[in-house]
């Protein structure tokens, strides 16, 4: 059967995310297409371990890479980046718990870091063009496998920018289209608590609203953690504690 849809990449992305749940009479048929792809990349047969998922019974990975991320606090955070058929996933280094996944269909551009082109890169995501900076000793191999996977499974050609970005410019544009001062100047702020996978207790945060954005800040340093355009926020869900 052949289908046509304007959401083809979204459909295929979700199909790949749960591909190992598909029915098959033989286990080797279930693994076949990923093993063929891995053979193209690595030049040899790869034996996939179906117990090695970021989420059990879900996403089959191609390869994992230790890395460091520079986030809002500007302190390097040790992480694992794993490359899958449909996304690159960010894992907590000690527990391997999934923190975030970035679908290939949402990656707008890969940007080298000026002066560190061999071991650092920036991923630019979505319509907001949010940017994430990673340092990895195997950056070249990671990006090759990621780009090959995106092209092979989703027909997406992930582009690498010709001009590198320096660290200062990254810091200024980390929030993408929400980086301007007027967008980050809030007219109302709320003290809130945020649940996070890495913390057993809720984390104190400031939830701020400007004319165009909703902003999350650290209450101690007042640093911006993240920001989103208000016109991209679909719903608010409230949870009350008694």
User: Are residues 104 and 144 part of one domain?
Assistant: yes
* In a domain? residue 207: yes
User: Are residues 139 and 20 part of one domain?
Assistant: yes
* Half-sphere CA count of 130, side-chain side, radius 13 A: 12
* In a domain? residue 110: yes
| DSSP code of residue 59 | P
Q: The pTM is what?
A: 0.79
* In a domain? residue 209: yes
* In a domain? residue 3: no
| DSSP code of residue 22 | S
Q: What local confidence, expressed as pLDDT, does residue 198 receive? A: 67
* In a domain? residue 2: no
User: Are residues 222 and 134 part of one domain?
Assistant: no
**Other CB atoms closer than 10 Å to residue 59's CB: what's the count?**
21
Nearest to 228 by CA among 168, 176, 163, 171: 176
Domain boundary among 126, 154, 173: 173
User: Are residues 82 and 193 part of one domain?
Assistant: no
* In a domain? residue 237: no
User: Are residues 72 and 136 part of one domain?
Assistant: yes
For residue 216, list its beta bridge partners: 207, 226
User: Are residues 164 and 181 part of one domain?
Assistant: no
User: Are residues 222 and 124 part of one domain?
Assistant: no
User: Are residues 120 and 104 part of one domain?
Assistant: yes
User: Are residues 132 and 89 part of one domain?
Assistant: yes
User: How many domains, in total, are found in the chain?
Assistant: 2
* In a domain? residue 185: yes
Q: How confident is the prediction along the chain (242 residues), in pLDDT tens digits per residue?
A: 777 888 888 888 888 887 766 655 444 554 555 556 555 554 555 454 444 444 444 456 788 999 999 888 888 899 999 998 899 999 988 888 888 999 999 999 999 999 887 889 999 998 889 999 999 999 999 999 999 989 888 889 999 999 999 999 999 999 999 899 989 999 999 998 887 766 678 889 999 999 999 999 999 999 999 998 888 776 665 555 54
* In a domain? residue 151: yes
Q: Which residue has the tokens 């500007």?
A: 74
Domain boundary among 173, 200, 221: 173
Nearest to 132 by CA among 97, 162, 94, 106: 106
User: Are residues 147 and 40 part of one domain?
Assistant: yes
User: Are residues 90 and 207 part of one domain?
Assistant: no
Domain boundary among 173, 197, 216: 173
Instruction: Give the three-class secondary structure for 207.
Output: strand
**Other CB atoms closer than 10 Å to residue 58's CB: what's the count?**
14
Please report which helix (H) or strand (E) contains residue 148, including its range.
helix 139-154
Boundaries of domain holding 113: 8-173
Nearest to 122 by CA among 190, 183, 175: 175
User: Are residues 189 and 97 part of one domain?
Assistant: no
CATH of the domain at 194: 2.30.29.30
What span, in angstroms and rounded, lies between the C-alpha atoms of 222 and 237?
24
């Amino acid at each position: 059967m052949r289908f046509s849809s304007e959401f083809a990449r979204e459909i295929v992305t979700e199909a790949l995310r749960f591909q190992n749940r598909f029915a098959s009479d033989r286990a080797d048929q279930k693994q076949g297409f990923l093993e063929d792809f891995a053979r193209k990349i690595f030049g040899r047969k790869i034996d996939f371990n179906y117990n090695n998922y970021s989420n059990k019974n879900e996403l089959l990975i191609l390869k994992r890479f230790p890395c460091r991320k520079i986030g809002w606090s500007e302190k390097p955070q040790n992480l694992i980046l794993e490359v899958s058929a449909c996304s690159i996933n960010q894992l907590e280094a000690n527990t391997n718990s999934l923190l975030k996944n970035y679908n290939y269909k949402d990656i707008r551009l890969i940007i080298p870091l000026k002066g560190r082109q061999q071991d650092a890169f920036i991923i630019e995501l979505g319509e907001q063009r949010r940017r994430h900076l990673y340092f990895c000793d195997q950056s070249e191999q990671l990006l090759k496998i990621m780009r090959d996977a995106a092209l092979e499974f989703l027909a997406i050609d992930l582009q690498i920018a010709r001009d590198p970005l320096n660290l200062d410019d990254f810091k200024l544009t980390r929030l993408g289209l929400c980086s301007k001062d007027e967008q980050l100047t809030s007219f109302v702020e709320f003290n809130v608590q945020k649940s996070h996978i890495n913390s057993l207790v809720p984390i104190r945060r400031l939830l701020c609203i400007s004319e165009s954005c909703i902003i999350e800040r650290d209450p101690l340093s007042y640093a911006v953690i993240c920001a989103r355009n208000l016109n991209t926020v679909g719903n608010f869900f409230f949870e009350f504690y008694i």
